[in-house]
Structure 1
Amino acid sequence: MIRLFASDMDGTILQDHSTIHPDNVKMVRYLQDKNIPFIICTGRDFYQASLCLKPENLQCPIIGLNGAIIYEEDGTILKEVTLSHEDTRALIQKIELHQNNWDMMTSNGIYSLHFEEKFAKKVETFKHNHPELTPAKLEEELIKLRQLFEAIDVSSVEEVLADPSVKIYKILTSNDEQESALLEIRSFVDTQLPNLVATSSFRTNIEVTHKDAQKGIALHHYAETLGISMEEVFTIGDNSNDVSMLKLAGYSVAMGNANQEAMATAKYQTDDNKHGGVAKAIQKCLEQQN
């Protein structure tokens, strides 16, 4: 019997960068009406995840930043796992050696190397990919984009590390042109930084957290607080940062748009994120239990 349902966000319950598929909204409401626990497991923080949940009047616990923080429904932190400043400095130095940009999720918010420059490029890419939007609709979407990616612009990691009280949860770097650079950074984490773990939510990025900050570990902890075993947990995702929770769950599902690693790990497969794959998978699970 499945007693806890857990879903990734990007590429899974979301049909685009900020909108939950209508069928998935209905299914989450159904579970909550039946008092069946549902939790979001995402690489985003509470604020970023809430930007997608609030328009649908949904509220639920959130495992954020790939497992670095477990939030209650109201944003209260239930558990957190942080990176040391020493490991952070070593990782950032390696990232910058490859001329990669980085984003750092912290207790003071998100810091981003040369944020304004990066965001301007993101806006141009968005405009290029959506020529069909009217000026008014484009402005509306760009406001959403700004809210989603808003960060504190910095020019050096030392601007962040100068504050010894700041807690560092996750570091993200991306490279759309040189995947070899990402492979080298990932290898550096695997071989030189034993306290950290590298994963990804897209083919062109790497997300680094403490080794104890993974979706699977955090979900296991959350399930235990409810008196639920991982055999009684449903998980669904689409990418490498979902693998740790797909491995541990009694009922695991890969999205139709999932990458090869997630596909190979999950026990079942569903439709893609643009066609309500989450709702279809949960419906199938519920039917199998009856």
Structure 2
Amino acid sequence: MYKLIVCDLDETLLDNHAQISKANEQAIKQFVAQGGYFVPNTGRSFLTVQANLKQLGLIGKTDQYVISYNGGAIIENAANQVLATNPLDFATVKKIYDIAQAEHVSGHIYTLENLYIWHPSRSEKDYLAQRNIHYQLVTDDQLSFLKGQPLMKIILQDDDPARRRALGEAIPPQVAAPLTTTYSSSRYVEFNHVNADKGKATQQLAKKLGIKPDEVIALGDNSNDLAMLRAAGLGISVQNGTPEVKAAVDYVTEADNAHNAVAEAIKKFALQ
């Protein structure tokens, strides 16, 4: 019996309007009602998913959780208590930022509670607004205001997939600290601390809850989901997943994220 479901949000649980469908909501609530844990496992800040948690009846709940920043933080929903973090150091973030500036690439820097963005395009502003993601524009090229803050991840945004891939390959050798590099939402290349990925955080949370790996389901669509899909007893790609993700999982849903793929998976594998 599956006891824990970890699930990506954008392009997996959320439809193309960044909403949770009624069918997905009902299936998740059924799973939780039978004693299961449903844990959003996202690259985003935990603060941006509060409306989703409210819809699912999980907001403010003791013993319910969010994995945030691609595994950079594990949060208990009650009072948004931070249980674990894997932050980057300031020098690493500053180096990646300087490379991005030289390459004229826009991007995001996430602290534990804030998002800072430089040079967002119109489409990027629209993408973030649709998801109710609030941010501040970076005006300090030295990033001195970030010193001493927990830096969860830095991501670069480019619409050209070849350029994203090139940046993802070129940047880590130029940085002293080892990194976890992933890609998401067909728009980002993401850099986390080497100990931060969705899979390691899934294993850490499952161990805390006394849940075995083969009692875990993971659902995702993109390369930043691969670690959790491989860490789970059952890895599931939604139909709109990338070819790389589909090749790595145990099951691919017939439906895509716009047509209740998560509900399909939960009903097929997780409900008693």
Aligned equivalent of 1:136: none
Distance in 1 of aligned mates of 2:169 and 2:124: 28
Which stretches in structure 1 are left out of the alignment for 5+ residues? 127-143
Q: Secondary structure at the match of 1:200?
A: strand
Aligned equivalent of 1:283: 267
1:1-290 paired onto structure 2 within 5 Å: 1-59=1-59, 60-74=64-78, 75-114=80-119, 118=121, 120-122=122-124, 145=129, 148-159=132-143, 161-176=144-159, 178-193=160-175, 194-270=177-253, 271-286=255-270
Distance in 1 of aligned mates of 2:8 and 2:119: 29
Distance in 1 of aligned mates of 2:26 and 2:130: 28
TM-score normalised according to structure 2 size: 0.90
1:154-173 Cα offsets, whole Å, 9 max, x none, are 134423x3442211101111
TM-score normalised according to structure 1 size: 0.84
Distance in 1 of aligned mates of 2:242 and 2:40: 19
Amino acid at match of 2:67: I
Distance in 1 of aligned mates of 2:2 and 2:174: 39
Q: After the TM superposition, which segments of 4 or more aligned residues of structure 1 sit over 6 Å from their partners?
A: none
CA shift for structure 1 position 248: 1.2
Amino acid at match of 2:73: I
8 Å Cα contact 1:8/1:41 also seen in 2: yes
Q: Secondary structure at the match of 1:209?
A: strand
Amino acid at match of 1:242: D
Aligned equivalent of 1:129: none
Distance in 1 of aligned mates of 2:50 and 2:90: 28
8 Å Cα contact 2:199/2:231 also seen in 1: yes
8 Å Cα contact 2:219/2:235 also seen in 1: yes
Which stretches in structure 2 are left out of the alignment for 5+ residues? none
The structure with the greater share of residues assigned to helix is 1
Q: Secondary structure at the match of 1:199?
A: strand
Distance in 2 of aligned mates of 1:40 and 1:55: 13
Bigger Rg, which one: 1
In the superposition, relative to structure 1, how do residues 122 and 217 fare at CA in structure 2: closer, same or farther (>3 Å)? closer
1:112-142 Cα offsets, whole Å, 9 max, x none, are 1145xx3x5546x68xxxxxxxxxxxxxxxx
8 Å Cα contact 1:189/1:198 also seen in 2: no
8 Å Cα contact 1:94/1:185 also seen in 2: no
More displaced, 164-173 or 186-195?
A: 186-195
Distance in 1 of aligned mates of 2:131 and 2:235: 32
Distance in 2 of aligned mates of 1:283 and 1:86: 46
Q: Sequence identity of aligned pairs in percent?
A: 26
CA shift for structure 1 position 55: 4.2
Distance in 2 of aligned mates of 1:98 and 1:43: 24
Amino acid at match of 2:101: E
In the superposition, relative to structure 1, how do residues 152 and 20 fare at CA in structure 2: closer, same or farther (>3 Å)? same
Q: How many residues align?
A: 265
1:27-46 Cα offsets, whole Å, 9 max, x none, are 11111211111111011111
CA shift for structure 1 position 25: 0.4
Amino acid at match of 2:98: Q
Distance in 2 of aligned mates of 1:147 and 1:110: 14
Distance in 1 of aligned mates of 2:247 and 2:130: 35
